[in-house]
C-alpha cells in the first residue's frame, strides 16, 4: 500500500514524539516584537510553585475534510459541531477539558475556570488570547476569587499559544473519523491522549528559556530542554 509523504511524516512524528510547529501566516496586525512583549509580561509572574497553563477555545465540526461539490453547488449536510474549551500545562498541573454545544461567552468561560481550579491546587497562571469574553468584570472577579492570574498574549499571536498545536492534531483526528457517528463522543479521551503522548511545550521552553530560568527550578527546566533537543535531533 502506497502512502503519501505527508502521511508517512505524520506517522513517524507521532511514534517518535517529535513536536510539531504549526506554520502560521504572520498577520499584519501582529506586533513586530510580540515575543518580547510576552517575555516582559511573563517576568515576575512565572515563579516557583506556580502552575502555568495555555488555554483556548476551538470549534470542532464533525464533517469530512473535503468539500463535496455537485456541479456549481456545494452539497451541505447537517453535521454536528461542538465548542471545546481546554488548557494544557507548561510543566506541572492537570490538563482541563470542557465541551459545550452552546456558544462560548463569559459565563461558559467562568465555568471553565471553576473546573480548572477543581483539578489543580496552588496559584495558577492562565495564558490566553484577547477574546472579548475573556476581558470583562465578571470574568476578572471569578479569576481573582479562584487565585487564577490571566496573562494575555500579544494581539494576533496564536503561534505563542501552545494549545493551538493540540487543536491541529485533534481536528485531524475528528476529520479522519468523520464517518463514525460516535467520533464527537470520544473527543475528550483523544484530547487527554494527545496531551499525554505529545511534546507540545518543547519549542516554547527553548524560546523563553531566559524567563523560565528565573522562575522555576533549574533541574526541571533542563530536563524539559534536554528532552526537546533530543526529539529535535531525532527528527533531523
Closest by CA position to 190, among listed 177, 181, 202, 203 = 177
CB–CB of 214/46 below 8 Å?
yes
CATH 2.60.40.1120 is held by the domain 34-65+77-234: no
Residues with Cβ < 8 Å from 94, sequence gap 6 or more? 119, 120
At which residue does the C-alpha cell 463569559 appear? 106
Calculate the alpha carbon distances from 110 to 106, 119, 178, 182 in Å. Answer: 6, 15, 31, 28
CB–CB of 194/162 below 8 Å?
no
Q: What mean pLDDT do residues 179-185 have?
A: 61
Would you say residue 134 has pLDDT above 90? yes
Give the number of other Cβ atoms within 10 Å of residue 21's Cβ. Answer: 11
pLDDT in tens, 11-52: 777 777 665 555 555 667 888 888 899 999 988 788 777 899
CB–CB of 19/199 below 8 Å?
yes
Would you say residue 70 has pLDDT above 90? no
**What predicted TM-score, i.e. pTM, was given to this entire model?**
0.76
Numbers of helices and strands, H then E, in the chain: 9, 7
Would you say residue 57 has pLDDT above 50? yes
Would you say residue 157 has pLDDT above 70? yes
pLDDT in tens, 199-212: 788 778 888 877 87
Domain boundaries, the chain: 34-65+77-234
229 vs 167, more confident: 167
Closest by CA position to 146, among listed 189, 166, 169, 116 = 116
Distance CA 202, CA 89 (A): 12
Helices assigned H by DSSP within the chain: 5-16, 34-42, 106-119, 137-145, 163-176, 187-197, 202-207, 209-215, 218-235
Amino acid at each position: 500500500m502506497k502512502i503519501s509523504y505527508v502521511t508517512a511524516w505524520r506517522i513517524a512524528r507521532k511514534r517518535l514524539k517529535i513536536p510539531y510547529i504549526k506554520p502560521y501566516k504572520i498577520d499584519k496586525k501582529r506586533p513586530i516584537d510580540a515575543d518580547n512583549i510576552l517575555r516582559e509580561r511573563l517576568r515576575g509572574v512565572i515563579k516557583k510553585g506556580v502552575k502555568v497553563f495555555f488555554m483556548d477555545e476551538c470549534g470542532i465540526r464533525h464533517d469530512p475534510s473535503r468539500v463535496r461539490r455537485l456541479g456549481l453547488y456545494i452539497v451541505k449536510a447537517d453535521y454536528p459541531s461542538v465548542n471545546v474549551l481546554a488548557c494544557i500545562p507548561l510543566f506541572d498541573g492537570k490538563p482541563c477539558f470542557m465541551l459545550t454545544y452552546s456558544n462560548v461567552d463569559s459565563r461558559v468561560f467562568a465555568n471553565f475556570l471553576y473546573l480548572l481550579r477543581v483539578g489543580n491546587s496552588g496559584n495558577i497562571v492562565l495564558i490566553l488570547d484577547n477574546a472579548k469574553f475573556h476581558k470583562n468584570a465578571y470574568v476578572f472577579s471569578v479569576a481573582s476569587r479562584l487565585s487564577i492570574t490571566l496573562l494575555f498574549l500579544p494581539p494576533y499571536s496564536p503561534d505563542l499559544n501552545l494549545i493551538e498545536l493540540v487543536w491541529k492534531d485533534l481536528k485531524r483526528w475528528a476529520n479522519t473519523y468523520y464517518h463514525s457517528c460516535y467520533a464527537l463522543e470520544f473527543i475528550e479521551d483523544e484530547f487527554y491522549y494527545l496531551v499525554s503522548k505529545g511534546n507540545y511545550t518543547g519549542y516554547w521552553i527553548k524560546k523563553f528559556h531566559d524567563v523560565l530560568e528565573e522562575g522555576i527550578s533549574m533541574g526541571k527546566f533542563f530536563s524539559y530542554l534536554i528532552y526537546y533537543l533530543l526529539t529535535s535531533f531525532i527528527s533531523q
